[in-house]
Structure 1
Amino acid sequence: MQKYLSIAVISITCTLLSGCTSKQLYGTGQEYQRNQCLHIPDKTESDRCLSKINTSYDDYKQAKDAGAK
């Protein structure tokens, strides 16, 4: 629980201070999701969850930009 709180505090602080880039915020979100996946007891489901979040920021941004057009 404390890990999630610290991730949330970092994200909020970065957002409020506008010192973090979108890439840093994306990385923080990915780390949070990774932690969530690792807490899934079923190995198959955990692996499936982890495979969904293995998208680099550049690939994510490219897909996002393509979807906006």
Structure 2
Amino acid sequence: FNLVNAYENENALKEAYESAKEIYRINDEKFQVGAVGEYELAQARANLESMALQYNEAKLNKENYLKALKILTSNDLN
């Protein structure tokens, strides 16, 4: 795992999160008019929450990787 992987992982999960947001929005609109039931809306919400957690974790992993790299680089300079 390296910095490139960290960025790629974050970008992929950001896209998945954005997609989950759109799916939830569509299902919410359908729910409002009775086109989908509570179960479908709950599934879309659970997927959205899961994607949000995974995306946030990927962002934190990238930030931690960058911090570690900065520490290692500064130690190499000393």
State TM-score, norm by structure 2: 0.42
- Structure of larger gyration radius: 2
Greater helix share, structure number: 2
